[in-house]
């Protein structure tokens, strides 16, 4: 993008200083001093170079890198609604996630593990075992009633970090451990924050308050996100910290490109270094590393996101160096971009992850805390005996956890292959209670009343997003649109790794981490169709990084672009009508999809909340046998 200020033309801005127009002829201006009579006429024939200012040079490089000119800001109204829209949708999300949070007043699904682990973690500094008096009844009824006499101080074996459980414990400290509000509050707040954060991420990507609000709204009305935010599981916390890491990755891209443009613009000889100038400390990648280290402290899946985002940062560095024309872009991407990015992201992730185990390190009674010393006292050869005992025990614990995750293949009625996740083929049932069968007297307008909680996603979000994903891939590959690549990086970090464990016991509710990127894919596709997004033109040297306003045309019209100007003028009215028609169709599509999403949420919310409904009403929602 060239500077809007007076100065060189667009072509000149690409090529550097340009020849002035002063002189007796254009040829003279091109060729420099010309032979002629001595005196003023010779000076008049001599071209006068118009020097670019530092700001103009910097703007030229910013255009190559897909950045707006210096001093550019979106309209104040757009920036205001870029906050107000997502905040309004976050308020909707708060209602859907916080109202009636105590229902059901029992531990549902995997809450039986995480809530009790969180409770004992808060009491002892590590999770402990429970000793039920009646194996058939278990400890859950007493726990829900506030009776904790079956709790022991013997450490229990847990296979996830403590971060999510500390957050669950925080809610129980605020509201007590004998009610669902206490153990589900933190998850609900995390879900609301995800909605707000996704809106801000969408605003950063798309520069549209409408699309940012739409993204927040779709996530607020998605069943996977609603149910996981109303249940004390770990995955919604993982989602929040992955989103923070993704947001920091986007900020790093802007910052490093702005620095690169500034240093090239200020350098007397920007090409003296074949790698181009360094871009300094990657502070935003450091932030991303901290966030993703915390995410890994919730579940190890955070490490996959860290790897995907790190690779994405490197590829963006490579593309940036190529865009500005450095002589050795690959070497530059490695030395100027890759190594600083690695040193900012990876150590921060690992150190933060290790720090999340602070309670394990500081409590000798924690599970396997004294393993190395115990092995040595028993006369057994201790592997890695060069490590301090505590650190060696921690490593051994992680190896045991890794073996558990790698070999977990126990059958479960709701286990689901990752290939079906994006279409919600086999959603997870969290809670089912046939009230009539149990003899509970309740009125539901039918002779058989049930309560059910199923984590099926909003069908129209997930199904249309599946179609939009093809467009995202096409735009990433053909148009080199960095926003499409950013969305695909989210899929790569949160979805693709699960195919490595496809034969394990895995569930569709894990898609709560993927859901924000599913929403971004859908909103991106709708934005293109509705002509609400800038589009990159690969025929423009700077178009691979810089925005152009979208004009969707039929393919036959794209092929006419090389016709003679006279033919183009003759066809201009028809093309204009076609573009306008395309815009109308796109915006109607956007409105129809949004209406369907809202209607689906209204239709499904009783099964996301566990509301008492007639049995036939529940059956009405089981659209496929695999949903039962």
For the chain, the domains span 10-64, 361-404
Share of the chain above pLDDT 90, in %: 67
Distance (Å, whole) CA 210 – CA 150: 53
Nearest to 348 by CA among 244, 500, 256, 493: 244
Residue 396 near residue 368, CB atoms below 8 Å = yes
- Whole-number pLDDT of residue 50: 55
pTM for this entry: 0.86
Share of the chain above pLDDT 70, in %: 85
Nearest to 316 by CA among 266, 279, 269, 347: 279
Tokens for 122? 């808060």
Residue 184 near residue 236, CB atoms below 8 Å = no
Per residue in 75-85, pLDDT (tens digit) is: 999 999 999 99
Tokens for 594? 């949004």
Distance (Å, whole) CA 255 – CA 252: 5
Distance (Å, whole) CA 86 – CA 80: 10
* Confidence band of 14 (pLDDT split at 50, 70, 90): very low
Distance (Å, whole) CA 572 – CA 574: 6
Find the farthest-apart pair of alpha carbons in the chain and give their distance in angstroms, rounded: 114
- Whole-number pLDDT of residue 82: 96
Residue 561: CB partners within 8 Å, gap ≥ 6?
Answer: none
pLDDT over threshold 50, residue 509: yes
**Angle 10-14-19 (CA atoms, 0-180°, nearest 5)?**
75
* Confidence band of 549 (pLDDT split at 50, 70, 90): very low
C-alpha pair distances (Å), 50 with each of 13, 17, 319: 11, 6, 30
Count of CB atoms within 10 A of residue 5's CB? 12
pLDDT over threshold 90, residue 573: no
Per residue in 357-384, pLDDT (tens digit) is: 999 999 999 999 999 999 988 888 889 9
Rg of the Cα atoms in the chain: 30
* DSSP string over 479-504: S--HHHHHHHHHHHHHTGGGGGGTTS
Type and span of the H or E element at 277: none
Instruction: Report CA dihedral (437, 441, 443, 446) to the nearest 10 degrees.
Output: 30
Of 74 and 217, the one with more pLDDT: 217
Collapsing DSSP states into helix, strand and coil, what is residue 117? helix
Which phi and psi (to 5°) does residue 153 adopt? -105, 15
- Whole-number pLDDT of residue 3: 39
Residue 569: CB partners within 8 Å, gap ≥ 6?
Answer: none
Distance (Å, whole) CA 156 – CA 139: 15
Tokens for 352? 């933060």
- Whole-number pLDDT of residue 183: 95
The structure tokens 């998850």 sit at: 187
Collapsing DSSP states into helix, strand and coil, what is residue 297? helix
**Residue 507 DSSP code:** B
The structure tokens 């726990």 sit at: 143
**E-assigned strand segments in 307-410:** none
* Confidence band of 43 (pLDDT split at 50, 70, 90): very low
Among 11-25, 53-67, 484-498, the minimum mean pLDDT is found in 11-25
Per residue in 436-466, pLDDT (tens digit) is: 888 887 888 888 999 999 999 999 999 999 9
Tokens for 283? 């502070």
């Amino acid at each position: 993008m060239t500077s809007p200020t007076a100065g060189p033309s667009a072509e000149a801005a690409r090529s550097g200083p340009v020849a002035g127009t002063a002189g007796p002829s254009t040829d003279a201006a091109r060729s420099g001093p010309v032979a002629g009579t001595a005196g003023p006429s010779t000076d008049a024939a001599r071209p006068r170079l118009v020097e670019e200012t530092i700001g103009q040079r910097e703007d030229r490089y910013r255009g190559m890198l897909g950045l707006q000119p210096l001093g550019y800001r979106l309209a104040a109204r757009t920036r205001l609604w870029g906050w107000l829209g997502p905040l309004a949708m976050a308020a909707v999300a708060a209602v859907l996630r916080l109202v009636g949070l105590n229902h059901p007043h029992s531990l549902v699904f995997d809450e039986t593990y995480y809530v009790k682990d969180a409770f004992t973690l808060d009491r002892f500094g590590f999770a402990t075992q429970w000793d039920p008096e009646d194996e058939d009844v278990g400890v859950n009824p007493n726990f829900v009633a506030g009776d904790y006499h079956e709790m022991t101080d013997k450490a229990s074996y847990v296979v996830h970090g403590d971060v999510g459980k500390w957050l669950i414990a925080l809610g129980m400290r605020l509201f007590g451990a004998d009610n669902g509000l206490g153990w589900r509050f933190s998850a609900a707040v995390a879900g609301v924050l995800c909605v707000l954060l996704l809106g801000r991420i969408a605003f950063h990507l798309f520069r549209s308050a409408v699309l940012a609000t739409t993204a927040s709204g779709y996530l607020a009305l998605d069943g996977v996100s609603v149910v996981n935010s109303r249940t004390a599981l770990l995955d919604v916390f993982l989602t929040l910290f992955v989103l923070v890491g993704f947001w920091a990755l986007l900020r790093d891209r802007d910052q490093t490109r702005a620095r690169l443009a500034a240093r090239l613009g200020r350098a007397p000889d920007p090409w003296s270094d074949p790698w181009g100038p360094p871009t300094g400390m990657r502070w935003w990648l450091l932030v991303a590393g901290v966030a993703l280290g915390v995410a890994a402290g919730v579940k190890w899946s955070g490490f996959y996101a860290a790897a995907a985002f790190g690779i994405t940062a490197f590829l963006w560095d490579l593309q940036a160096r190529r865009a500005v024309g450095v002589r050795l872009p690959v070497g530059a991407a490695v030395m100027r971009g890759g190594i600083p990015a690695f040193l900012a992201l990876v150590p921060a992730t690992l150190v933060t992850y290790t720090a999340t185990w602070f309670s394990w390190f500081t409590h000798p009674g924690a599970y396997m805390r004294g393993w190395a010393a115990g092995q040595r006292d028993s006369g057994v050869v201790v592997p890695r005996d060069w490590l301090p005992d505590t650190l060696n025990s921690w490593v051994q614990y992680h190896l045991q956890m890794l073996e558990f995750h790698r070999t977990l293949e126990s059958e479960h009625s709701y286990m689901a292959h990752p290939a079906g996740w994006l279409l919600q083929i086999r959603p997870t049932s969290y809670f089912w209670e046939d009230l009539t069968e149990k003899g509970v007297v309740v009125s539901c307008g039918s002779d058989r009343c049930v309560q059910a909680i199923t984590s099926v996603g909003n069908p129209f979000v997930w199904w249309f997003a599946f179609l939009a994903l093809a467009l995202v891939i096409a735009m990433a590959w053909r148009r080199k649109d960095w926003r499409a690549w950013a969305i695909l990086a989210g899929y790569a970090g949160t979805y693709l790794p699960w195919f490595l464990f496809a034969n394990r016991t895995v569930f569709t509710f894990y898609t709560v981490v993927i859901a924000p990127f599913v929403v971004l894919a859908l909103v991106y596709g709708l934005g293109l169709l509705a002509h609400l997004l800038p589009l990159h033109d690969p025929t423009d040297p700077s178009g691979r990084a810089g925005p152009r306003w979208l004009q969707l045309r039929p393919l036959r019209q794209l092929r006419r672009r090389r016709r003679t100007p006279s033919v183009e003028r003759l066809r201009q009215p028809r093309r204009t009508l076609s573009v306008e028609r395309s815009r109308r169709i796109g915006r109607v599509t956007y409105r129809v999809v949004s209406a369907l999403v809202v209607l689906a949420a209204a239709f499904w919310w009783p099964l996301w909340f566990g509301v008492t409904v007639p049995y036939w009403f529940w059956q009405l929602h089981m659209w496929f046998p695999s949903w039962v």
